[in-house]
Amino acid sequence: MGEKILVTRTSMPDYDEYCKLIKSIWDSHYLTNNGPLHEELSKRIIEYLGVDNFTLFVNGHLALENAINALDLHGEIITSPFTFISTTNAISRTNNVPVFCDINPDDYTMDVSKIESLITDKTVAILPIHVYGNVCDVEAIEKIAKKYNLKVVYDAAHAFGVKYKDRSIASYGDISMFSFHATKVFNTIEGGGLVYANPSLKEKLDAQKNFGIYDYEGSVTTGGNAKMNEFQAAMGILNIQELDKNIERRKKIVELYRNLLSSIKGIKMCMEQENVISNYSYFPIVIESNYGLTRDELYDLLTTYNIFARKYFYPISNQFPIYSDCVGETPIAKGISERVLTLPLYPDLDNENVIKICKIIKGGQK
């Protein structure tokens, strides 16, 4: 059957180059607490994104929790259930209440036409998700937020390096959170970061991720431990050097998928967005009723060939019992979650395997 083809495969730098870089850690004995590699990675990310204000974290989830806390949000936060459960958990773990807004059927981002009906006197923020790297309607969201004096925090976990109208997607909203998990386009093993509009948040975020310590003379606020270590930073420094090349390869794989799947009845591919420079983070397909198999049947068929796609996102957040009583009817999100499948996509995936995957999918149609 050959080796497993997983939905994603971690991009890693040259082994010898990584060993060479981390040698400095043994020389300095500096493992964490904003070490030299941490500071170098921060500088490179700021340059890559073209932003002014950025803070690194040990992972994306804690970065998102710290973003919510840094903005002093206390109330209802309108979000989408079509996301990894981490997004919703970050809202509830900061003692806020998630309110669910449905999604668009074409790009799976928040349906901005349904936001205002969910706003109450308890609403404090909107937390939209750039799903699969697809960009939310940032202009409409900004207009609504200004009208109702709401904060906007973007879950941009999938969108590192994405641009909209020649601007980094990180430059929209009050804060954007990025994940640098091993499965992402750019990874630091685990990791995350925040880009924010207000530079005064830097001191607060630095304190929050370091036990709330502003200084060691007694200036302390509530905080935890969310610092990135030097080994993670070293991985990021080397990976960001290869990022553009890897994104270009991902683009070619997506183009091949689109070309081979376009003629298959019952396979819906995600729309390509205007004015967006993508990072080709994921490649989702939706299995429609006129295809020969259900989504789950196609998933099972692929596994018989050692190909492991992913039902992503399934289930959606408000299908979990803990959130089932939250406000917000989301039939489109539920329907997409029951039919979506993300296909393997990573720079090392060769064309032959893409062709193989598409042939198996074609063989399942009526």
Q: 15-241 maps to which CATH number?
A: 3.40.640.10
The reported pLDDT for the residue numbered 366 is 66
DSSP for residue 35: -
Task: Locate all alpha helices (DSSP H) within the chain, ordered by sequence.
Answer: 15-28, 36-49, 60-70, 85-93, 138-148, 201-208, 230-241, 243-261, 295-304, 331-337, 351-363
Q: Decide whether 15-241 matches 243-363 in CATH topology.
A: no
CA distances for 334 relative to 82, 315, 316, 330, angstroms = 8, 8, 7, 6
- In whole angstroms, give the CA distance from residue 245 to residue 231: 23
339 and 299 Cβ atoms separated by less than 8 Å: no
Could you tell me which of 155, 149, 3, 27 has the C-alpha nearest to residue 91?
A: 155
Q: For the chain, give every domain's residue range.
A: 15-241, 243-363
The reported pLDDT for the residue numbered 220 is 78
Helix (H, G, I), strand (E, B) or coil at 278: coil
Tell me which of 3.40.630.30, 3.20.20.70, 3.90.1150.10, 1.20.120.400 is the CATH number of domain 243-363: 3.90.1150.10
The reported pLDDT for the residue numbered 72 is 97
Could you tell me which of 118, 136, 184 has the C-alpha nearest to residue 157?
A: 184
R_g over Cα of the chain: 21
The reported pLDDT for the residue numbered 358 is 98
Each residue's pLDDT tens digit, 107-151: 999 999 999 999 999 999 999 999 999 999 999 999 999 999 999
- In whole angstroms, give the CA distance from residue 254 to residue 134: 14
Q: What is the pTM of this model?
A: 0.97
pLDDT under 70 in the chain at which residues?
1-2, 218, 366
